[in-house]
Amino acid sequence: MPPHKSIRVPINDAPDPEKEGAIRTIGEFKGQKADYEFTLNGGERIHIRKYKDFYEVHWDKVSPQINIIEHLRQDASHWWITLWVLSGATTGALFYEKNRIAGAGIGASIGLLIGLLTAQF
């Protein structure tokens, strides 16, 4: 399967991830009760979200346990781009003292461009 493509597994058809050696982790909240991961030898991970009646499972290119920056860039590009926009806006506002709003806008635009050019979709 390609990365980020999820499958659903009924809870009754699978063992408890923690009992099988998965570590409890956090992930973007999508209504799940818990997140788990199996970190693979190459640095990838199997990400499991636990819901009331099913698990949702997909794999990511980079585990955040191994490299959070690359995880954001390669597996959570929307957060990667958001961080660049916020960083750019903050930097622009701090350095363009004459008009902080314009500085924030220019910085956010530059951050957006950097984020889009460096994210991996």
Residues 77-116 pLDDT 10s: 999 999 999 999 999 999 998 999 999 999 999 999 999 9
Query: What are the domain boundaries of the chain?
Result: 7-67, 76-118
- What confidence category does residue 8 fall into, taking pLDDT thresholds of 50, 70 and 90? very high
Give the percent of the chain with pLDDT over 70. Answer: 100
Query: How high is the pLDDT of residue 79?
Result: 97
The span from the first CA to the last CA of the chain, in angstroms, equals 16
Give the percent of the chain with pLDDT over 90. Answer: 97
Phi, psi of 53 (to 5 degrees): -115, -5
Residues 37 and 5: their CA atoms lie apart, in Å, by 15
